[in-house]
Structure 1
């Protein structure tokens, strides 16, 4: 099957083309090949590849370098490929919002902006929608951090075309209780570990999360139970129970500080860390960020989620989220994006990089 990309198409038409090249996580090779082939045809770019991640860069000697990044994979298709354009100018299909419209904007800028006012790095990476250890951007951080060097980064995740600064950190931990197993007919001979979890739930119900102002953005924290495990059979007093909690923390906390806070909340219980990722400060005071916000317009908002901007932040590169599409539509069967939103994002990025 011919997967050639025509970068002379506008970003909306290119989005449809990208959607029609299926690229569920772990099956990105065909699209990565198409992206690489299209970029290697642009003489003003140098192109490198690691697995199914493709990185292209200008080398114009500008005093500032900006990274534009986006993942090429999607969640599993839900009978929503091939793409469909309706009469109202809405494009439907898997990945239209998250985030092939953002990838299409990147490709259009890469093809059309041959002499930008800043040097540019374009990053197209795999495995974003699955386990963090498989993430292609994380692999680039480990294998080729020099490919990602820059002064400022824009992750073209869907944001409804507004700038969202930084991101929350996220931590998951198991808060565990123990007891003594017994027959439920003689429950007084045992100690019920599930009952002992009641104070854990009470502390969660009474928890008052912080609101933190950073660079004019208000980040809201949250600490919630997301899973409870316990019990052996319908006639057994359980001797173990674990409540999995998810702490979404503001980016002024480190992962270590976040874990210390969770352990403080659940003092007296065993707390076992199972997963953690740092947040990212918004970095909106950086001159490139100031210019970007001015070019896009509107008031920036905090990113109430974790995104890969955190990986750039860990490299010392301030980063924001900005892209066409409604994030609430991500991963849904009804995923779609307005053509006008895609074209607007393309034009605003072009104006910022050429003005």
Structure 2
């Protein structure tokens, strides 16, 4: 089966609300096409193992997607009660929800997993729930999924130069949090009788604006964090001193330090709650990163570089658990989550070769 055929099959299967059918297809293919030990865990992750050795390399992806646009779904003219995703091939690209993020990379990893003569133990893993906080990766890690190394097939094409598939050795994380200010309501004509929660919240905003987010130097680039107030909600009427105000904060984190947002709790009546914390990633093993870069160099005419990514991926959860991960995949900046999402067929073939070469060479 070609990379185009397998990617087409995977992209056509809806998996934004329920990943079961996509997981079934991946599991069935691996059982049919490989001699690997294949299992499906309680949440729907598909994990396969082949080869032997004391050290393990995992090819990692996810088969869930974000909700499709109307143009990306078809009921085959009313002939089917089970809608499918539209998949189109034109201009040497495959179009469809999940083509770039990241069923194309999953297909490339599957074919490489089947074709490789691995240097050690080789693992294929396709997780569920990446788009909703890394549910599948976290579940697997909590139950012992612990490869020594990993190549996560999220997008790394076009970061150093157009069309070049690079190797990302670090990426930002995301911490989403809420600052809640409490006060005491009163009639606005007697404002001094109350305690204005919005005023307390704006004091917190002023503090957040003064924070200096940390940054690190990786692969000759500056990976800089950020802290941004993105939403504010409070008050119940034009003539009422508000007793509550909530602020949403989007923070992009880097490996190491975090911005000290907790300082807002020194303000009377202010609490800070972390709602989501997607960890950043940094590969500390330079030799492994160079091995994958060498595989990428051999698989294309362009010259790949070690780069950084702004987006959180499942590589963050793996790094947090002790794995040395890199990110290398076909998706280009601006392709994921769009109504005209697409992936280059040439780059899919390239990534298949990168994964195969890396699987065969990372210990040699």
Of 14, 18, 28, 2:19 maps to 28
Deviations 1:198-227 (A, max 9, x none): 232333334433321246553211111122
Deviations 1:139-192 (A, max 9, x none): 11223x1xx332210111122232112332332332232332122344344332
- Which residue is equivalent to 1:101? 104
Q: How many residues align?
A: 333
Local SS of the residue matching 1:166 = strand
The 5-angstrom pairing of residues 10-29 of structure 1 reads 11-25=3-17, 27-29=18-20
Answer whether contact 2:180 2:247 (CA < 8 A) is retained: yes
Shift of 1:235: 2.7
Answer whether contact 2:188 2:239 (CA < 8 A) is retained: yes
- Which residue is equivalent to 2:261? 262
Hey, what's the Cα distance between the residues in 2 that align with 1:61 and 1:334?
A: 42
Local SS of the residue matching 1:329 = coil
- Which residue is equivalent to 2:288? 288
Flag the 1:173–1:28 CA change in 2: closer, same or farther, 3 A: closer
Of 324, 343, 353, 1:347 maps to 353
**TM-score, normalised to structure 1's length?**
0.86
Hey, what's the Cα distance between the residues in 1 that align with 2:320 and 2:345?
A: 34
**2:172 equivalent to 1:181:** no
Superposition RMSD in Å: 2.2
**2:152 equivalent to 1:155:** yes
Q: Structure 2, unaligned stretches of length 5 or more?
A: 73-84, 158-164, 298-303
- Which residue is equivalent to 1:319? 325
**TM-score, normalised to structure 2's length?**
0.84
Shift of 1:23: 1.3
Hey, what's the Cα distance between the residues in 2 that align with 1:110 and 1:295?
A: 15
Shift of 1:276: 4.3
Hey, what's the Cα distance between the residues in 1 that align with 2:305 and 2:263?
A: 36
Q: Structure 1, unaligned stretches of length 5 or more?
A: 1-7
Answer whether contact 1:167 1:279 (CA < 8 A) is retained: no
Local SS of the residue matching 1:194 = helix
Of 122, 125, 128, 2:124 maps to 122
Shift of 1:348: 2.1
- Which residue is equivalent to 2:338? 332
- Which residue is equivalent to 1:4? none
Deviations 1:113-152 (A, max 9, x none): 2x222321000111222255xx112111223x1xx33221
- Which residue is equivalent to 1:242? 246
Hey, what's the Cα distance between the residues in 2 that align with 1:214 and 1:329?
A: 25
Shift of 1:312: 1.2
